Amino acid sequence: MEDGAGAETPYELARRLHALGRPSTEVERALRERGLDADEARIAARAGRGEAGVASALPESPRASELPDAPPAEPPAHPCPMHAQWPVLATCARCGKFICARCLTEAGWERLPDSNQCPECETRAPVVQGIGGWLILPALHIAVVAPLSGGVALVQDLRVMPQLSGPLLVPVLVEAFFYASYLAYALFTAIAFFQKKQRAVSLMIIFYVLAIVSALLSIGLTGWIEGITGEKVPDEDGAIQTGRAIISSIVWVAYFLQSKRVKATFVVP
């Protein structure tokens, strides 16, 4: 998958090494081995040591408003290393470099990108986000396939119910209740998914677990009905169906846990 598992960022690496008590020279060397030049490694090492912590206490970085044309009259308490008259607005999420309004305007930007990366990192390693790439497949599954399959199964159960009575009605009622709940959950998850809510990741993981539950339920209900009627119910091989569901669910759960695109897309509280 082209937007799969994301490696530890330089800032996260620096913070982890400092937490382990490694000297700054060793931290900078490790960062240079990750592809950063000497200046970037030094800035990221400082950020990981906590010197970039001042940025987290600053007001929210500008998103849609225009950046100021001139620096503040008073010297900033936390000046940008590149532009001493300008206050730090944010810390690059990738390299830990401090960013000010002047850094952004010199890059031709009017706002800080949603990736929270500095201009250099955004140009060199842009964050992949939005519903695209492999994420299109789960989008189609949750918005089209799941509602259709759940809805068709529910309608079939509702149609056959008036013809049943006694013990045979119970397993069909159980199945109908499951598919009604499955359909409602799929629609609820689809709304969060397309609104790019943070909770959509957890909801999708549960959704793929429910796919396994559905396959196992189908096997159980088939055996239940066969036990009541004493006749073989024509159905796809339950073991194959369950195996497919398990493999597919494992793959997509791993994707939602590790994908860079997922982490950059589902950010709405």
Q: How far is CA 138 from the centre of its chain?
A: 12
Range of weakest confidence among 18-27, 62-71, 218-227, 250-259: 62-71
Write the CB contacts of 208 (distance below 8 Å, at least 6 apart in sequence).
248, 249, 252, 253
Q: Which two tokens stand for residue 155?
A: 């309608």
Average pLDDT over residues 164-172: 85
Distance from CA of residue 20 to its chain's centroid?
Answer: 28
**Lowest pLDDT segment from 36-40, 117-121, 185-189:** 36-40
**What is the spatial distance between Cα 117 and Cα 219, in angstroms, rounded to a whole number?**
50
What's the CA gap between 99 and 184, in Å, rounded?
A: 45
Question: Which residues are CB-contacts of 207 (< 8 A; sequence separation ≥ 6)?
Answer: 142, 146, 185, 186, 189
pTM over 0.85: no
Most confident range, picked from 20-34, 36-50, 95-109 = 95-109
Residue 173 pLDDT exceeds 60: yes
- Average confidence score pLDDT of the chain: 81
What 8-state DSSP symbol labels residue 125?
S
Residues above pLDDT 70, as percent of the chain: 84
What lies within 8 Å, CB to CB, of 174 at 6+ separation is 217, 221
Antiparallel, parallel or unpaired: β 88-91 and 98-100: antiparallel
Paired with 88 in beta bridges are: 100
**What does the H/E/C string look like for 80-116?**
CCCCCCCEEEEECCCCCCEEEHHHHHHCCCCCCCCCC
How many Å apart are CA 251 and CA 211, to the nearest integer?
13
Q: Which residue has the higher pLDDT, 268 or 154?
A: 154
Give residue 66's pLDDT band: very low, low, confident or very high (50, 70, 90). Answer: low
CA angle 72, 89, 55 (to 5 degrees): 120
The residues facing 145 across adjacent strands are none
* pLDDT tens readout for residues 237-261: 667 878 888 999 999 999 999 998 8
| Amino acid at residue number 186 | A
Domain boundaries, the chain: 10-124, 133-265
**Identity (one letter) of the amino acid at 221?**
L
d(CA 173, CA 161): 8
User: How far is it, in rounded angstroms, from Cα 43 to Cα 50?
Assistant: 11
**DSSP letter string over 176-220?**
HHHHHHHHHHHHHHHHHHHTTBTHHHHHHHHHHHHHHHHHHHHHH
Structure tokens at 10: 């330089």
